A = this chain, B = another copy of it.
Amino acid sequence: MPVEKISSLQNPRLKELVRLRDRRPRDEAGVFLIEGYREIRRALEKQVKLQELYFAPDWFLGENEPALIEQARAAGAQLFELTKEAFAKVAYRERPDGLLAVAPQWSRTLADLVLPAVPFLLVVEAIEKPGNLGTILRSADAAGCHAVIVCDPVTDLFNPNVVRASTGVLFSVPCVVGDSAGVLAWLHGKKIRTVATTPAAATVYSTADLRGPLALVMGSEQYGLSEFWLKNADLPVRIPMAGQADSLNVAMAAIIALFEAVRQRSL
């Protein structure tokens, strides 16, 4: 398949790429954007099926881009070579590296999750900022969580800034989206204990038993956990904080709780 060249800033494909930054057109088209060498390489490693790859050699930062492009082509991606100006129009990063891919969205349900005998899950509720959701995915990956369950999502998993902030973890850690009631029922059915972090809890997180089948539950940035999880979680815990009341954001609280669980589970 020949490489199509795009230099006109009026090319409809460029307009479509810009439109895909927004959720509605993204969901309607059932695709999403992956920008950057590292992220595209990881997508290919994890068998994400790239439909289209847009590249602009004028923006390349290294020597390895042609090999990556060849890999994408071999995996079935349609290739487009852009001029520097054309790529500047479609890049959503401040410092583009000349690589932007389009891939199909996927959807996983709770029923799709394959879990080990002693599952270790992270449940996050209504996270608003894509950057926080991406960072939380990285933390869950580093902690070895078997899955991340996103309840009642405000930001969608395929937001370009989630893809970016997750540094490609989105392609490796299983992520499932669900409503809180359905997720709780599923966790109960699997006999997975829910430990929810909230500043109002009496128990300090590190004194709670975080071994065994576990789902850590974290609330949204602005409102914390909903009444639903506060009422229904098996154990509320808090992270003691010195200093300013808002020094820990949800992504920081998540990593603290996750790594305490890792510590206890390795004892």
Q: Which residues of A come within 8 Å of B, CB atoms?
A: 42, 135, 138-139, 141-144, 167-169, 172-173, 204, 206, 239-244, 246-249, 252, 255-256, 259-260, 262-263, 266
Contact = CB atoms under 8 A, between A and B. Distances in A.
A160 to B, nearest CB: 16
A130 to B, nearest CB: 14
Contact of A242 (B141, B168, B263): B141
Contacts of A243: 141-144, 169, 172-173
Nearest to A257: B259
A42 B142 CA distance: 34
Given A169-B247, A255-B252, A241 B142 contact: yes
Given A138-B248, A260-B260, 11 more contacts: A138-B249, A138-B252, A141-B244, A142-B244, A142-B248, A144-B242, A169-B247, A172-B243, A239-B259, A255-B256, A260-B263
Determine how many copies of this chain the complex contains. Answer: 2
A142 B248 CA distance: 7
A262 B139 CA distance: 20
A266 B144 CA distance: 27
B266 A142 contact: no
B144 A244 contact: no
Contact of A256 (B144, B248, B256): B256
Given A256-B255, A259-B256, A260-B259, A247 B206 contact: no
Nearest to A167: B246
Contacts of A252: 135, 138-139, 142, 255
A141 to B, nearest CB: 3
A255 B143 CA distance: 14
